[in-house]
């Protein structure tokens, strides 16, 4: 099986928009669930709803893959799984290194979902000498002093950083100098990298903040609705003729 940094996904060369690339994993997840249930075909509407995407957008996205479906039948599930996997570069093996094997790094190393999606945890690296040689997820942790030779030996092109924030930039610099060209950063640090290196930052607290924003908006809407209902009920009891559905201004609590 092909491995390593010389094998980039096809998406770049064909100029598929980044927004489409970002939705491909959503389609793939929905399609994989259909495939597991042995569903042979799916309509764009069904798939769009399963992936949480608008169906016109889905059809446009699939047109970049050269996949148009069959009128009245829909899309062939297995073929789409193959097409999207190929587009994302998942039909080949991607060796991944995780640097910083504390709570998060160990949890990621133990996550079985990477392997089934084409990502093989090739090495685990930590700066703590007491960690060296310790087995995590069946892999012996290696010392950060050997980072460069570990990257070379495993032909790694994707690095995951789960060190404390203060160490992340230095780890990133070493990974890049050793030939890693894609980084998934969990540390609370904005990394600077040279051109040609891709960084994706994962920050669960930002996701929670976005959910908090939506929760707050829903609570304000509920409050506004219940006040409006209350006004209508009391008007009806008094026999008032106020305009139907009028909603009084509500100040947030």
Ligand X SMILES: NC(=O)c1ccc[n+]([C@@H]2O[C@H](COP(=O)([O-])OP(=O)(O)OC[C@H]3O[C@@H](n4cnc5c(N)ncnc54)[C@H](O)[C@@H]3O)[C@@H](O)[C@H]2O)c1
Q: Can you say which residues are annotated as belonging to the binding site for NAD(+)?
A: 100-105
Q: Per-residue string for binding with ligand X, 128-147, x by CB under 6 A? A: x---------------x---
Calculated CA dihedral for residues 150, 154, 158, 161, nearest 10 degrees? -30
Q: Per CB under 6 A, does 176 bind ligand X?
A: no
Name which of 65 and 124 has its Cβ closer to ligand X.
Answer: 124
State how far the Cα of 58 lies from the Cα of 54, in Å rounded to an integer.
6
CA of 62: how far to CAs of 50, 81, 142, in Å?
A: 15, 12, 42
Name which of 128 and 240 has its Cβ closer to ligand X.
Answer: 128
- CB of 216 vs ligand X, minimal distance in Å: 21
Q: How many residues does the chain have?
A: 253
Name which of 211 and 247 has its Cβ closer to ligand X.
Answer: 211
Q: Per CB under 6 A, does 178 bind ligand X?
A: no
CB of 121 within 8 A of CB of 139?
yes
State how far the Cα of 153 lies from the Cα of 39, in Å rounded to an integer.
42
Among 1, 19, 204, 253, binds ligand X (CB under 6 A): 204
CB of 174 within 8 A of CB of 148?
yes
Q: Per CB under 6 A, does 31 bind ligand X?
A: no
Name which of 5 and 174 has its Cβ closer to ligand X.
Answer: 174
Question: How far from the centroid of its chain's Cα atoms is residue 253's Cα?
Answer: 35
CB of 20 within 8 A of CB of 61?
yes
Q: Per-residue string for binding with ligand X, 61-100, x by CB under 6 A? A: --------------------------------------xx
- Interface residue list for ligand X (CB under 6 A): 99-105, 125-128, 144, 162-165, 167, 171, 186-188, 202-204
């Amino acid at each position: 099986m092909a491995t390593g940094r010389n094998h980039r996904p096809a998406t770049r060369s064909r100029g598929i928009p980044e927004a489409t690339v970002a939705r491909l994993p959503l389609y793939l997840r929905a399609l994989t669930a259909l495939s597991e249930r042995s569903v042979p075909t799916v309509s764009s509407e069904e798939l769009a709803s399963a992936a949480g995407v608008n169906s016109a957008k889905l059809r446009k996205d699939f047109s970049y893959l050269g996949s148009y479906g069959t009128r009245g039948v829909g899309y062939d599930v297995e073929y789409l799984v193959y097409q999207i996997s190929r587009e994302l570069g998942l039909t080949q093996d991607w060796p991944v290194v995780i640097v910083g094997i504390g709570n998060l790094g160990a949890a990621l190393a133990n996550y079985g979902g990477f392997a089934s999606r084409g990502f093989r945890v090739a090495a685990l690296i930590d700066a703590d000498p007491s960690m060296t040689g310790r087995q995590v997820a069946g892999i012996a942790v290696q010392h950060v002093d050997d980072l460069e030779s570990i990257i070379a030996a495993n032909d790694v092109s994707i690095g995951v950083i789960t060190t404390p924030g203060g160490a992340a930039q230095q780890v990133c610099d070493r990974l890049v100098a050793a030939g890693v060209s894609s980084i998934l950063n969990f540390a609370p640090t904005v990394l600077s990298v040279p051109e040609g290196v891709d960084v994706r930052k994962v920050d669960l607290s930002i996701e929670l903040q976005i959910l908090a924003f939506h929760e707050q908006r829903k609570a304000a809407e509920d409050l506004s609705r219940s006040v409006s209902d209350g006004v209508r009920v009391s008007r009806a009891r008094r026999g008032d003729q106020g305009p139907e559905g009028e909603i009084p201004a509500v100040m947030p609590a």
